Structure 1
Amino acid sequence: MMVPATAVAGGIILGMANGAIAASFDVSGQTFKVGASRLVGEGFEQYGGMAKEKNGTIHPVAVSEIADAKLYDLCQSVNASVPGLKIVLTINAGGGGKPATAKGLLIDMDSLEGDATFTNIQIGRDATDLNEHALPKSFGQSADKVVIKDLRQVARSTSAGTFTLNGLKLKVNVGEQAKECFPDPK
């Protein structure tokens, strides 16, 4: 699922989520975790890109665009620990059969794990056919639909035209209660 970083080295890609918004902001440099029991997406595209920090540091990423997404049992966590004190911010939503939803979802990620099923997938497309800002001749793939069970994603940024978090619960967890959505990938 991940595309080789070398295929996109040397450039910055501005992603356009469903033609509605641009992810043209500087990233913090800190990653965050997103987990879900299931993601169901219509209109999936993926290609290589770069996320840029304000200081100019560049991170190779896999860019995923999903036109219409549903995330069941969504968990997002950010490790905000300081020396001597573990702190984790968590956001939970989309439980009880009422998924979180996103239109024009755009994700810059470092890693992705789960059990994925793609419908009408096309692998090896020129990424500029998917997004005009992609590097020419870089690797891309698309599918009409994607379903990922037991989603575990480490991301640098997420943006969406609309993001609805049904049953939103935000909490700052400190000390022993400070647990992320899932352990670090191996």
Structure 2
Amino acid sequence: MSYRSGRTRWKRFAAVLAPGIVAAAALGIGMAQGALAASFLISGQKFQVAADTLDIRGLSIYPLVDVAKKGTLVPVVVIGARRATLDGLCQSVVVPVPLLGPYTLRTTAGERSRATNLFLDTTSVSVGQANFDDIDIGVAAGAISKGPISPGDRDSRFFDPNVFAQQAVSATLIDVRATEVAVAASTFNLPDLDVQVKQGRHECF
């Protein structure tokens, strides 16, 4: 189903992500039974990514299963962008330090951060307002053409070309709050980059 120059409230959009998440969980069960093999390992540490605005040209959304080094299966929704522009970017991860308690590694960047072939492996996301242009909901993952698919994902046994996916020519997301297990990009340009390690919990949201 295709909508031209449409606008979609994120809550409705998130609702139709549910079948994809279920499919990702099913892939995880298959891997646990030996039917699938992990294509890469993640640390398993979740972290926060926030942005005041995220403008995407070439959007793809599809389910996958990431595998932590310890073998834990993590169903995710991959959000891909051929080109992305971010304002007010913040990334934070809390690390427990023996005897000292939690410390937060917090990274921020200024306006107009830019990325190409950006992939966010997401376990949860909320958006204050989401506007989509030329969106297709229910496209087969293997038929995605408007947005990118990571070559590593496409070659992985976790990638099901027939599974429920979504794509759009462009999207503007406002007040983004996401929990990630991995972020990758071909290029990432961050003006006014600031990295701090602070004692205690100083998360982005």
In structure 2, the residue corresponding to 1:7 is in which secondary structure?
helix
What is the CA–CA distance in structure 2 between the aligned matches of 1:164 and 1:170, rounded to whole Å? Answer: 15
Which of 76, 87, 97 aligns to 2:103? It is 87
Which of 88, 96, 113 aligns to 1:73? It is 88
What is the CA–CA distance in structure 2 between the aligned matches of 1:106 and 1:45, rounded to whole Å? Answer: 9
Which of 47, 54, 62 aligns to 1:39? It is 54
Q: Deviations over 1:31-70 (max 9, x none)?
A: 1000010000100000111111122211100011100001
Establish whether residue 109 from structure 1 lines up as the match of residue 122 from structure 2: yes
What is the CA–CA distance in structure 2 between the aligned matches of 1:165 and 1:80, rounded to whole Å? Answer: 23
Does the 8 Å contact 1:8/1:135 carry over to 2?
no
In terms of mean alpha carbon deviation, does 155-164 or 24-33 score higher?
24-33
Which of 136, 143, 151 aligns to 1:129? It is 143
Match of 2:64 in 1: 49
What is the CA–CA distance in structure 1 between the aligned matches of 2:199 and 2:105, rounded to whole Å? Answer: 9
Does the 8 Å contact 1:3/1:48 carry over to 2?
no
Match of 2:9 in 1: none
Note the residue ranges of structure 2 that are not aligned, 5 or more in a row.
1-13, 29-38
Q: Which aligned runs of 4 or more in structure 1 are off by greater than 6 angstroms? A: none
What is the CA–CA distance in structure 2 between the aligned matches of 1:99 and 1:86, rounded to whole Å? Answer: 31
What is the CA–CA distance in structure 1 between the aligned matches of 2:108 and 2:18, rounded to whole Å? Answer: 29
The structure whose Rg is larger is 2
What is the CA–CA distance in structure 1 between the aligned matches of 2:18 and 2:101, rounded to whole Å? Answer: 36
Note the residue ranges of structure 1 that are not aligned, 5 or more in a row.
13-23
Match of 1:154 in 2: 179
Does the 8 Å contact 1:52/1:58 carry over to 2?
yes
Deviation for aligned residue 1:11: 3.3
Deviation for aligned residue 1:136: 3.5
Tell me the TM-score normalized by structure 1: 0.83
Q: Hey, which of these two has a bigger chunk of helix by percent? A: 2
Which of 121, 134, 147 aligns to 1:120? It is 134
Deviation for aligned residue 1:72: 0.2
What is the CA–CA distance in structure 1 between the aligned matches of 2:85 and 2:44, rounded to whole Å? Answer: 27
Deviation for aligned residue 1:86: 2.3
Tell me the TM-score normalized by structure 2: 0.76
